[in-house]
Chain A
């Protein structure tokens, strides 16, 4: 006869045994992946690169193929290089069975697992039917949603798609980065003229990433209009373009920021290499003397004023 206490303990023991098994299997899979890579990695990589870049015949799948390792290898090739035909990647993944493997993994149990494999699929360009999260503010969901825009040819359509959700700067930057790999000539100037704040934010993320000097007038215009929601984005975009901050419009915009955000912006100017004179001129109308002195002294500390004799260290 099993008592009540024993039955509880038995249930607990069974649950634990399941988790131990899961962790053991994770370790075994990791070792199998490493061993496959050490044995077949270089040969497989040569075949893949030969097919993608040198018109070599499509490689035949090996009998014992570690899909996880193969996926990581293809991902490395796709992220390190450019200039290959995406259709060849699609054909290769179909021949190797990677699209079925990814399809299964993107239906994984946890959101994070689905996010990892969906990201791998998007970054390699393998065509997989992704179940994108409709909601969710976590970075994984946002990034997945943002990267789905890499599948859209037209830049304006991609921006409209991205503007449908409130994306964080990190997700927006990742989306722009991935699109710039696939469509290097993407033009985001229309996004900067949009009435939608989120679309403008995407455009500004593109400016910060690419530092395209053709966007100069649009960025200055946005700083002039002093829209509260886009203030920080447009100021940082202005700095990314290395434009002068000694302007009345910049001073007006900075005055709209709170104390902490102003301090952070001055710090950012110092790190980006603006001269201490430029920071001093910008801080002329700074209401807080402490912040003004701090910003100017930090700038001078970074710039190491050459008119003063350099003090040598006595060892």
Chain B
């Protein structure tokens, strides 16, 4: 399994990396939307985990670049936001799964393993 993690804070990236370590060792991290698009064009990922959803509201069509990485690519968004409109907007943007923070570690791993 190949996973891409997008988080602005470096400690968030490492934390998620440590969390998914039992599932797979092939983890790529990035801190920006441009990096996310670049990685998705170069490699094929099984899952993309994003902390925050700012990249979905900017109009960059990043979701298209992410899907280009593979139809089976699952996109999981982790965010503290619980406002109904924000969540609906995220789902409308093409996200497969929206998980509110704090997320249970085993639940996240189950979501990643599920096909």
Direct contact of A and B (CB under 8 A): yes
* A contact residues vs B (CB 8 Å cutoff): 34, 37-38, 41-42, 44-50, 52-54, 69, 72-73, 75-84, 181, 211, 273
How near does chain A come to B91, taking the closest CB pair, in angstroms? Answer: 16
CA distance A147 to B111 in the complex (A): 32
Task: Identify A79's interface contact among B10, B102, B104, CB under 8 A.
Answer: B102
5 A-B contacts (beta carbon < 8 Å): A76-B9, A77-B15, A82-B103, A83-B104, A84-B105
Is B106 an interface position by the 8 A CB rule?
A: yes
CA distance A34 to B31 in the complex (A): 14
Chain A contacts for B4, CB-based, 8 A: none
How near does chain A come to B2, taking the closest CB pair, in angstroms? Answer: 16
How near does chain A come to B66, taking the closest CB pair, in angstroms? Answer: 21
B15 touches A73 (CB 8 A): yes
B18 touches A48 (CB 8 A): yes
Q: Which 8 A-B residue pairings sit nearest by Cβ, starting from the closest?
A: A45-B18, A49-B18, A82-B102, A76-B11, A41-B14, A76-B15, A45-B14, A46-B18
Known: A41-B10, A41-B11, A73-B11. A79 touches B18 (CB 8 A): no
Chain B contacts for A41, CB-based, 8 A: 10-11, 14
B19 touches A72 (CB 8 A): no
Chain B contacts for A49, CB-based, 8 A: 15, 18-19, 21, 105
How near does chain B come to A72, taking the closest CB pair, in angstroms? Answer: 5
Known: A72-B11, A273-B85. A82 touches B22 (CB 8 A): no
Looking at A69, A77, A83, the one whose CB has the most chain B CB atoms below 10 A away is A77
Is B50 an interface position by the 8 A CB rule?
A: no
B10 touches A81 (CB 8 A): no
Known: A46-B21, A49-B19, A80-B78. A73 touches B102 (CB 8 A): no
B12 touches A80 (CB 8 A): yes
How near does chain A come to B81, taking the closest CB pair, in angstroms? Answer: 12
Chain B contacts for A79, CB-based, 8 A: 101-102
Q: Find residues 53-95 in chain B having any chain A CB closer than 8 Å to their own CB.
A: 78, 82, 84-85
CA distance A50 to B105 in the complex (A): 11
Chain B contacts for A48, CB-based, 8 A: 18
A44 touches B104 (CB 8 A): no
Besides A46-B21, A53-B106, A80-B101, 20 more A-B contacts (Cβ < 8 Å) are A37-B14, A38-B10, A42-B14, A42-B18, A44-B14, A45-B17, A45-B18, A46-B17, A47-B18, A49-B105, A50-B18, A53-B19, A73-B15, A76-B14, A79-B102, A80-B15, A80-B51, A81-B103, A83-B104, A181-B102
